[in-house]
Every structure is written in C-alpha cells, then in structure tokens.
Structure 1
Amino acid sequence: MTTLAQSDTARQSALIPMITIGVLFFIFGFITWLNSSLIPFLQIICDLNEIEALFVAFCFYIAYVVMALPMSWILDRTGYQRGMVIGLGLIALGLVMFVPAAKTHYFSIFLLAQFVMGSGLTILQTASNPYIVRIGPHESAAARIAVMGLLNKAAGVLAPILFTFLVLSDFPDVSKASVDAMSASDRAVLVAEMANKVITPYVGMAIAMIVLALGLSRVNLPPIREEAPSDAPSHESILRYPQLILGAMALFFYVGVEVIAGDTIGLYGSSLGLSNVTSLGAYTMMFMVIGYLAGLVLIPRFVSQSQALTGSAVLGLIVSVLLLLSSDSSTAIATALWGWMGVPVVPDSVALIALLGLANALCWPAIWPLALADLGKLTARGSAVLIMGIAGGAVLPLLYGALADITSLRSAYVILLVGYGLIGWYGLVGYKKRSW
C-alpha cells in the first residue's frame, strides 16, 4: 500500500515539470520548423539561390555550436529553471529583430535574428533535455522524450500551415519563378507587401515568449539529482566517455538529415513549380508525429531505445534509396498514403522526402538517454556536448546545397545515406562503449 502511495506521489510530482517542459518543447518545434517556410519565403524576398537560402538554417543551427558551452556555464550558475527563462528572453529578442529585417529586406539582419533565436533555443535545449531524461526511470527516458517530441513535431506541423495562412494567404500562387518573371517595379511592390506580412505574427510570438518567461519564473520546478551508478566508470574529463562523444556524432548526422528532410522539401517543391511550397514542411512533420506516437507505444514495452534507433536508421536508408530513384511526375505514393483523405497529393519524390520524417522521429529520443547514460555529475556538461551536435543542422544542409549545385536537387540527397549509416552504427555498437 505504501509503495503504491509513493508511486502515485512520484507521478504527481513529475506532472507539473512534464507539462512545463512540454510547453517548451512545443516552442522548440514551432520556432525551429518555421525555417521550412522561411527558406522558400526568404528566397523570394531577398532574391536568393538555393545555397544562399539554406544559410537561413545554417545561422540558426550554428548557434548551437557557438553558444552550447557558454550556455552550459550559465546553467551552472543559474540552474536549469532560470536558464530556461533567459532562453525564452533571447528567443523574444530574435523574433523582434524580424521587424527591421522585414522593413529593410536585408538578408544579413534575417540571419542575425536566426542566430539569436538559435542561441535562445540552445540554452532551452541544454536545460530541458537532461531534465526530461532524469525526471523518471532511465529505461523509459526515450518514451518521455517521445512525448516531448510529439509536442515538438505537432508544433512543426502547425508552423508552416500557420505561416502560409498568416503571411501568404493574399499571395496564393506566388513562387520564385513567378516573381522572377515580373518587372522590377511590380516585383518591388509585391516583395514589400509580402515582407510586411511577417511583422505582426513575429511581434505576436515575441510577446508570447515574454509572457511564458514570466510564467516560467513563477513555476516551482524540482531539482534533479545527477548520480551515476556505483559500478559506472567515473572520469573528470567529459571526453573520456565514448558513449557521449559518439552520441554527439550520431546526433550531428541525425539533425543534419532531419533538417534536410524538413527544410529542403519546400525548395524541392519550388523547383518543380508546386504551389504553396511554404506549407510542404507540414507533410514531413506529420510523419514525424506518427513516428513519435509509434515510439510511445513501442518503447520500452516492445523495443529498446537502441533497437528503435537502429530500426529508424534502416528505414531512413530504404527511403533515401527510393528517393534517389523516384519520379517527379507520378503521384502514386501520396495518392495511396493520404490522397483518399482529400489531402492534396504531391509527386513521389516530394512524398518520399516527407516520409523521411517517419525515419527521423525516434532518433532524437533514443540518442539522448543512450549518450547521457552513466555521466552522473557531468550530465549538464554532457548535455552541452550533445547540443553542439545539433550543428549538423547547419553543416549538412549546406553540403546538400553544394552537391545540388554540382549535380541536382534530387541527386544531392545521396548525403542521407552517409548520415543514416552512421546513426545505425551508433544504435548497434557505439552506444555500448564505455572506454576508448
């Protein structure tokens, strides 16, 4: 009886932190996956080619490398909760910077705003991910992160749809090709109108971040204990933990392939002349939501965290090969999967890019607990190392863009094979290592 009462108390004590962190993960997703709409949008506003447009993602994700260790030092001094409040404030600042960027059309200001928002998300991610790992049993950590990921990717579904509705509802047929065909004067008028439509939504989001920061400062989040098992090897240097360093490498390639799938689908659709390309990212996010739901059911009841990671990598390899061999004219895949529901269909190549979301869904929630296992008091520092792995979202999309310039947008997806191969190796072998 006492055991049951203690179990109920533990669940109740974890509920408020879970809800609080869940709200933050929703914010991560909404801000992050706005990039899938921003990239094709800014390609029009600032007259960019594909690789220039992908600098939107680069400046956002490179902040995770530049700011990860400084943010971990801030966390050491402020604690997790105050650090999260600071992160929300930085995001609000980045959102406000979109106002002068939209007024001037200076691409450099857009990029700086992306970096500031990425910096805010860095401290939020550094604090919240280990918090979710440590708030309950290690064996179910991936399931808890899957709940957070479900909120994250649900926001990712909404972000491109809301962006398209709020910003581009008055420009339903606009595309890079149609704008390029206009006269200089007509194009200047259209671009100014489109840019001004960004201001109100971004100011609204900035206000929401400030309100959330004030609310979070008043929530009582319990501290988490960072203790390693007595039989776990203990080192003073974070570099002495192979499961962490290799996990950061796996995370680097995972975030890279995830961003390629989520943020290049609009560019690819634009190259095919599809309409409403700023909303195509919602297809990828929807498949990620399905993957997270599967993770909630399967982990750890039927599959372990490492098995989920390996299976995701295998699925990613299969879908990537099919993508490289796919058709830009047939819509058979989309027709079979969702056309019968009345959802607009897309070419097979675009549908397969979206399907990569299913392969990507469980990588993040599986890598984090595997990489942070046995770190004890170095968990916060280890979290910062993992956060630096998010730089894959900056580097791999640019490599994709460079390959696309040399070959084609579709052939450049060959880079996915390398990413999923290394993720699969970590799920099979790398996570088990406890010494070099």
Structure 2
Amino acid sequence: MSSSQTAVKVESLSPKETWISIGIIGMLFFIFGFVSWVNAILIPYFKIAFTLSNLDSYLVAFAFYISYLVMSVPASYLLRAVGFKKGMMYGFFAMALGAYIFVPAAMTRTYELFLLGLFTLGSGLAVLQTAANPYVTILGPKESAAQRISIMGIFNKGAGILAPILFAAVVLRVGDSELFQQLDQMSPEARDAALTELIQRVITPYAVVGTVLLALGIFVRFSPLPEIDTEHESAEVAEANSGKSSIFQFPHLVLGAIAIFLHVGTQVIAIDTVIPYANSFGISLLDAKVFPSFTLAFTILGYLVGISLIPKVISQVNVLRICTLLGTALTLLIVFSSGPIRFLGMTVDISILFVVLLGLANSLVWAGIWPLALDGLGRFTKLGASIMIMGLCGNAIMPMVYGYFADLYSVKMAYWVLFPCYLYLVYYALHGHKIRKWKIA
C-alpha cells in the first residue's frame, strides 16, 4: 500500500480521533443509503415510464447490485494499493460518473443506458462499501462492533427514508395519478410524449447528485480520516493463520458471505417490492410511496435497540438469532394473512404491514454477521471484506427471483422466496459462524 508510512494501528487512535472517524464514515453510510434506497421508487417509476413487466422493472436492482459481484475483489486490491482514503475518493468519482450517465439516458429515454448508469453507480459504491464496512468493524472492540455498525445503519436507513420521499417530491406531480390511469387510452404519439416528459424529470436531480458526489470524493481524500493498518496481525492471530494461504480457508467467512447475500436479498425485497405490492391492492403510487420509509423507520428502531443493549444487556450474536427468527415468522404471516386494516388514513391489507415490519427483523442482521465473519482474519481482512461485499449481489439476484415468481404466480405468493433465506440466516446465527475448519468426509 502506498500509504503504508502513514497507516496507524487502531489502538493508537485517541477517543476524539475515533469519533471523528465514526462521523466521517457515518456520512459515507448516509450516501450509501440515499443512492441505494432511491431504487425503491425508481423501480415502479421506470416500470411506468418504460411500460415494463415486474421482472424487467427489477433490472434496476439487478444492474445496480450486480456490480458488487464484479467489482468487490478488484476494490480490495485497489484499497491495498492506494489505501482507504484514495480508494474512497475513486469510489465517489465512479458514482458521480454513474449519476451523470442518467442525463443522456433521460434525454434519449433509453432504459439500457439507465441500467449502465446504475451499474456504474453500484461499482463506485462497491469500492466505498469494501472500505467502509471493515473500517468501522475494526474501529474499536469487536464485542461492540454491532453497536458501531448500528450507528452506521441509522445514517444509512435515515437516508433511505428521505430518498424515496425526496425523489417523489422532485419528479412526481399532483396530477400524475390521473396521468398514469389515462396512459392506455392515449394515442401512441401523445403517450410517447407524456412518458418522455416523465422520464426527463430525473435530469436535474441526478446532475446535482453527480456534482455532490464529486465534491465528496475530494473531501474524503483530504479529510482527517486516519489510514488504519489492517495488514499486521497480533501474535495470536498470526499463529492461528500461519498455515493459511487462501481466503477460502476461513469457513465462517465464506458462510458469512452467503448469509450477507441472502440477508441483503431479503432486505431489498422488503423495501423495493412494498410499493408494487401495495399497488396490487389498488393503492396508488403517490400514496404507496411512504411504505419504504416506514420499513426503514422500523429498521432504525432496531438499530436504536441495538445501540442501547449491545453488548451490555445482550450479545450481538443473540440479537442476530432473534432477528432471523422474527424474519422467518413474518414471512409466514405475509403469505398466510389477509384482511383490511386502517393505516395512515388508508385501508390496507394487513399483510402489507407485515412486509413493513420486515424492516425490524432485518435491522441487526448485517451488524451481527460482519463481526462474526471477519473475526480472526488478520492480514486477510481487506480481501475478506471484499468477499463479504460480493454478497451484496444478493440485492441484484433476489429481486429478480421475486419478480419471476410474481409474474408466474402473484406478488403475494412470491414472498415465499424469503422463507429459505431466513432459515439459512437462523443456521448461521446458531451454528455457521462457529465453524473454523472445513470438515472433509
């Protein structure tokens, strides 16, 4: 790493330096959340503007998150070569490029170009995630790592609450509900003109987002964020890892990456499908836009509980077990329950509220998995983090699986895809994270 002369051990940081670092990384997690969770409204928005099927509309999530599979390992080598700070700067620059691609995509109303912009945004975010997640995990005692990650989660999901609402405020108009209902009755020319005007509303907001991301890249590069040394191991860790030459010799990491894949898939399904699911009950896009924000609000509630109780009252692994079991139970309630209930002045099906409550079940799963999976990696930490970040491609694949079954059966029955995911997460929480050697029959 070029910055090895300035890299410091985390134990040498003062409390002030540690909290400054947490604040800066928190800002990064806010950006992660804003850029990622706006997909919750981009999916139904593009579905209307490009007249897409359920499956095709979830290409938004696929294009954005498949970049994690492609870019995570290269990101780890980039970080080893240039350090955390320069690597984060390059990540922001890539995200800015992705945002700027939205401008010609909107001007030409080209869905494939939007998908390229989303892939580029995700690629930059993969670099940032590969840097920020291990950074905050090792920035203090491992027993309280879930607490620190929960703080990051508040930044992330707080931005997620704002993103769909702000996007809707900027690009949607009061009369759009009537417009959407009239599209099928319009002449081809009038319909094409209306949809072109609709999609071009994203030009200004994404041009602004691109400029802000450029500025943030420069800020992080020259910020007081310390370069943390992850290459040198303690004597105990070095001895344990002395015979290991591959990252795949850490079963708890590999199983943890699978857990991350399934966890983020369940999380993005809960958030990105709740609007179309509400639409299936006759709730309009303008009314349904609040549901992702409520899902994320329950996630923040879970984070606050985690910050308050971990590790003094309950261990992070026991919280992980509770959350995964709750997700399993809520999945069954979604597919088996039905009936009207009043919520926010609307009459909604009760199963929609169980989808929203998945936000609580998902809240501390990420925070629980990361410290368990990175435990004892030592000099393999950055590469191990890249394997974990590769798991975020679950955000790309799982919504596509949901969309396939939604088209094949129904948007309600498609939630069955969550059930095996939560069962695996329960397994990892109970046993999988303890495995330190592969058993060969």
Specify the TM-score bucket, using the shorter chain as the normaliser: over 0.9
Are the counterparts in 2 of residues 305 and 370 from structure 1 also a CA contact under 8 Å? no
Are the counterparts in 2 of residues 175 and 270 from structure 1 also a CA contact under 8 Å? no
Q: Whole-Å Cα distance in 2 between the matches of residues 278 and 105 of structure 1?
A: 23
CA distance 1:70–1:140, change in 2 (3 Å)? same
Aligned to 1:331: 341
Q: Whole-Å Cα distance in 1 between the matches of residues 56 and 181 of structure 2?
A: 16
Aligned to 2:393: 391
CA distance 1:136–1:181, change in 2 (3 Å)? farther
1:100-152 Cα shifts (integer Å, max 9, x gaps): 11111111001101100000000000000111011111111110010001100
Aligned to 2:60: 56
1:338-358 Cα shifts (integer Å, max 9, x gaps): x4xx7x564322221111111
Secondary structure (helix, strand or coil) at the match of 2:14 reads helix
Secondary structure (helix, strand or coil) at the match of 2:340 reads coil
Pick one of 202, 212, 217 that aligns with 1:198.
202
Q: Whole-Å Cα distance in 2 between the matches of residues 180 and 427 of structure 1?
A: 49
1:286-315 Cα shifts (integer Å, max 9, x gaps): 111111111111211222121111111111
- Which sections of structure 2, spanning at least 5 residues, go unmatched? 1-10
Aligned to 1:312: 323
1:147-188 Cα shifts (integer Å, max 9, x gaps): 001100000000000011111034442586553343323322
CA distance 1:362–1:194, change in 2 (3 Å)? same
Q: Whole-Å Cα distance in 1 between the matches of residues 309 and 133 of structure 2?
A: 21
Secondary structure (helix, strand or coil) at the match of 1:236 reads coil
What amino acid does structure 2 have at the position aligned with 1:237?
S
CA distance 1:44–1:50, change in 2 (3 Å)? same
Structure 1 residue 403: Cα displacement = 1.3
Residue 255 of structure 2 corresponds to residue 246 of structure 1: yes
CA distance 1:176–1:170, change in 2 (3 Å)? closer
| More off after superposition, 57-66 vs 185-194 | 185-194
Are the counterparts in 2 of residues 314 and 424 from structure 1 also a CA contact under 8 Å? yes
1:402-422 Cα shifts (integer Å, max 9, x gaps): 111221110010111111111
TM-score (norm 1): 0.93
What amino acid does structure 1 have at the position aligned with 2:398?
L
Q: Whole-Å Cα distance in 2 between the matches of residues 174 and 247 of structure 1?
A: 47
Are the counterparts in 2 of residues 44 and 175 from structure 1 also a CA contact under 8 Å? no
Pick one of 408, 414, 418 that aligns with 2:420.
418
Are the counterparts in 1 of residues 281 and 349 from structure 2 also a CA contact under 8 Å? no
Q: Whole-Å Cα distance in 2 between the matches of residues 161 and 190 of structure 1?
A: 22
Q: Whole-Å Cα distance in 1 between the matches of residues 73 and 31 of structure 2?
A: 22
Matched ranges for 1:1-400 at <5 A: 10-173=14-177, 178-226=182-230, 227-232=232-237, 233-234=240-241, 235-275=244-284, 276=286, 277-327=288-338, 330-332=340-342, 335=343, 339=344, 346-400=348-402
Are the counterparts in 1 of residues 248 and 254 from structure 2 also a CA contact under 8 Å? yes
What amino acid does structure 1 have at the position aligned with 2:136?
I
CA distance 1:76–1:400, change in 2 (3 Å)? same
Are the counterparts in 2 of residues 134 and 224 from structure 1 also a CA contact under 8 Å? no
Q: Whole-Å Cα distance in 1 between the matches of residues 202 and 300 of structure 2?
A: 27
Are the counterparts in 2 of residues 38 and 278 from structure 1 also a CA contact under 8 Å? no
Q: Whole-Å Cα distance in 1 between the matches of residues 291 and 186 of structure 2?
A: 24
Q: Whole-Å Cα distance in 1 between the matches of residues 173 and 311 of structure 2?
A: 43
CA distance 1:266–1:157, change in 2 (3 Å)? same
RMSD (Å), alpha carbons = 1.8
Q: Whole-Å Cα distance in 2 between the matches of residues 345 and 88 of structure 1?
A: 42
Q: Whole-Å Cα distance in 1 between the matches of residues 260 and 16 of structure 2?
A: 32
Are the counterparts in 2 of residues 228 and 374 from structure 1 also a CA contact under 8 Å? no
* Segments ≥4 residues shifted beyond 4 Å: 174-178
CA distance 1:325–1:146, change in 2 (3 Å)? same
Q: Whole-Å Cα distance in 2 between the matches of residues 138 and 47 of structure 1?
A: 48
Secondary structure (helix, strand or coil) at the match of 1:331 reads strand
What amino acid does structure 2 have at the position aligned with 1:39?
I
Are the counterparts in 1 of residues 281 and 348 from structure 2 also a CA contact under 8 Å? no
Q: Whole-Å Cα distance in 2 between the matches of residues 20 and 144 of structure 1?
A: 13
- Which sections of structure 1, spanning at least 5 residues, go unmatched? 1-6
Structure 1 residue 51: Cα displacement = 0.3
TM-score (norm 2): 0.92
